[in-house]
Amino acid sequence: MIFQGVFPMSVLERIKALFNGAKENVIKNISEEEVLDSEKENTSPKKTSNTSSSKDGKLDDVVSGTKTSESFTKKSKKTSAKKSDVKKIKVEKAEDKKTEDKKSKATSTTDNFSNLGKVSKNENVSNLEKDSKAKDTSNLEETSKDVEANEINTSKASDAEELPSDNKILEKEKEVESDEEKVSADEVSEEKSAKNNKKSDNMTLLTDTELLTNENIDKEFTKEFIDAGIESVDHCFQCGTCGGGCPSGKRTPYKVRQLVRKCLLGLKEEVITDDSLWMCTTCYTCQERCPRSVKIVEIVKKARNIAAHAGYMAKPHKMTGLFVITTGHGVPINPATKELRKRVGLGELPPTTHSFPEALKEIQTICEKTGFDTLIGFDKETGELKE
């Protein structure tokens, strides 16, 4: 039924054409369509070779049509296999990234971030490829089925005006499936060789170490959001409005929609080891536009709290913390500003912790009580960070 629903007209037209003796033209048309499709989608070299082989005029009989359909179905199978892989969320090589993170403590964050950018670029590319492949294949499937339909009607040319019945199509599909099985062995070896060739489009293939399983899920992580009063994490239906308006999403690998999803799923390591978590400027654009009133910025901040407590803190952030512990200000006074203040008739020091040592003592007591000093690695003896 689906078959008829989607393209009854083209089938009908082609059947008619066949019985008008224009068989060769039809097939030529098909192959031209294929060329067009492949050009439009800018497909992989493999497919182009398929198309060119049909273009070489080997499509002048129905059997070769079936051959084409075989190779296309083969492709479609591959894609469906990939699709099921995609369902399992891809890990951005968590292990590698951990090392990167450690490295980042020593090297500059910019460096680290550009690595991240690379990783995500790959991911983007591969996603794109997946999309375009899926599209391609559906187009190709269409064509191949058309060819099949032609075949059916030539071999059983009893009723020219009647569309092929569902039964016949089913029969035909079974045949194709058995063909697919034959092909699958070739496929495996093909994929292996492609894997060795790193330039190939098989970068989308996932290895076992890159898959997320139930073991990656930490329900306690999700619970931390609920307990913190951000129950709205559960209201998200992944519409993507947040990401669509996110200015950091435009510039960095930060994917706010994905972050919310991962927090809800409990993918703790995924979230806290990802540097892009820190690319949000907390501008609230996402939260203002969210049709489900999810407190997205609260989720980001909570995730950052958990990451920070797990040791994922950038040195510059610790430094700001250090300034507050030692002066009471994230941006303390400097000699130039003291001069300016004096010049315009303000006190050289503002009437803040800068002027009241006992007030600064209060800040330090608070930071000790909450453990913030330990969190950033503050050394009371030296008044510096321990690292």
Partner 1 sequence: MEIAYFLGCIMNNRYPGVEKATRILFDNLDIELKDMEGASCCPAPGVFGSFDEKTWASIAARNITIAEDMGLNIMTECNGCFGSLYECNHMLKEDKDKKEEINQVLADVDREYKGEIEVKHFAQILRDDVGFEKLSSIVEKPLNLNVAAHYGCHFLKPTEDIGIEESAENPSILDDLIEITGAKSIPYEEKMLCCGAGGGLRSRDIDVTLSYTKTKLENIQAAGADAIVNVCPFCHLQFDVGQTEVNKKYGTDFNIPVFHLAQLYGLAMGLSKEELTLDSHLIDADPALAKVLAEYDKLAAE
Q: One symbol per residue from 236 to 275: x for binding partner 1 (CB under 8 A), - otherwise; what is it?
A: -----------xx--xx-----------------------
Closest CA to 223 of 234, 238, 213: 234
Residue placing its CB nearer to partner 1 in the complex, 40 or 284: 284
- Tokens 């294929």 identify what position? 34
Cα gap 286→298, rounded to integer Å = 11
Q: Which stretch binds partner 1 (CB under 8 A): 16-24, 63-71, 161-169, 285-293?
A: 285-293
Residue placing its CB nearer to partner 1 in the complex, 106 or 283: 283
Q: What is the identity of the amino acid at 62?
A: V
Query: Taking CB under 8 A as the rule, does residue 371 contact partner 1?
Result: yes
Query: Residues 148, 204, 287, 378: which binds partner 1 (CB under 8 A)?
Result: 287
Query: Taking CB under 8 A as the rule, does residue 301 contact partner 1?
Result: yes
Interaction with partner 1 in 96-135: which residues (CB under 8 A)?
A: 109-110, 113
Query: Residues 124, 127, 138, 370: which binds partner 1 (CB under 8 A)?
Result: 370
Cα gap 221→219, rounded to integer Å = 5
Which residues contact residue 262 at a Cβ distance below 8 angstroms, ignoring those fewer than 6 apart? 270, 271
Cα gap 23→188, rounded to integer Å = 35
Query: Taking CB under 8 A as the rule, does residue 351 contact partner 1?
Result: yes
Q: Which stretch binds partner 1 (CB under 8 A): 45-53, 62-70, 151-159, 316-324?
A: 316-324
Query: Taking CB under 8 A as the rule, does residue 367 contact partner 1?
Result: yes
Least CB distance to partner 1 at residue 352 (A): 5
350 Rama class: left (phi>0) / alpha (psi -120 to 50) / beta? beta
Is 236:261 a contact under the CB 8 Å cutoff?
yes
- How many positions of this chain bind partner 1 (CB under 8 A)? 72
Query: Taking CB under 8 A as the rule, does residue 28 contact partner 1?
Result: no
- Tokens 């990802």 identify what position? 274
Which residues contact residue 221 at a Cβ distance below 8 angstroms, ignoring those fewer than 6 apart? 263, 266, 267, 268, 271, 306
Query: Taking CB under 8 A as the rule, does residue 316 contact partner 1?
Result: yes
DSSP 8-state symbol, 378: E
Query: Residues 32, 95, 362, 384: which binds partner 1 (CB under 8 A)?
Result: 362
Q: Is the dihedral of CA 184, 186, 192, 197 positive or negative?
A: negative
Least CB distance to partner 1 at residue 217 (A): 24
Query: Residues 27, 279, 294, 299: which binds partner 1 (CB under 8 A)?
Result: 279
Neighbouring-strand partners of residue 378:
385
Q: Which stretch binds partner 1 (CB under 8 A): 118-126, 258-266, 287-295, 378-386?
A: 287-295
Across 19-97, where does the E strand assignment appear? none
Query: Taking CB under 8 A as the rule, does residue 302 contact partner 1?
Result: yes
Is 14:149 a contact under the CB 8 Å cutoff?
yes
Query: Residues 219, 281, 383, 386: which binds partner 1 (CB under 8 A)?
Result: 281
Closest CA to 217 of 91, 51, 118, 45: 91
Q: What angle do CA 235, 240, 244 make, to 5 degrees?
A: 140
Q: Which stretch binds partner 1 (CB under 8 A): 30-38, 144-152, 168-176, 321-329?
A: 321-329
Least CB distance to partner 1 at residue 231 (A): 13
Interaction with partner 1 in 170-229: which residues (CB under 8 A)?
A: 228-229
Query: Residues 284, 379, 383, 384: which binds partner 1 (CB under 8 A)?
Result: 284
Query: Residues 17, 55, 135, 372: which binds partner 1 (CB under 8 A)?
Result: 372
Cα gap 256→213, rounded to integer Å = 22
Least CB distance to partner 1 at residue 219 (A): 21
Neighbouring-strand partners of residue 247:
none
C-alpha dihedral over 203, 206, 209, 210, to 10 degrees? Answer: 80
Query: Residues 334, 335, 381, 382: which binds partner 1 (CB under 8 A)?
Result: 334
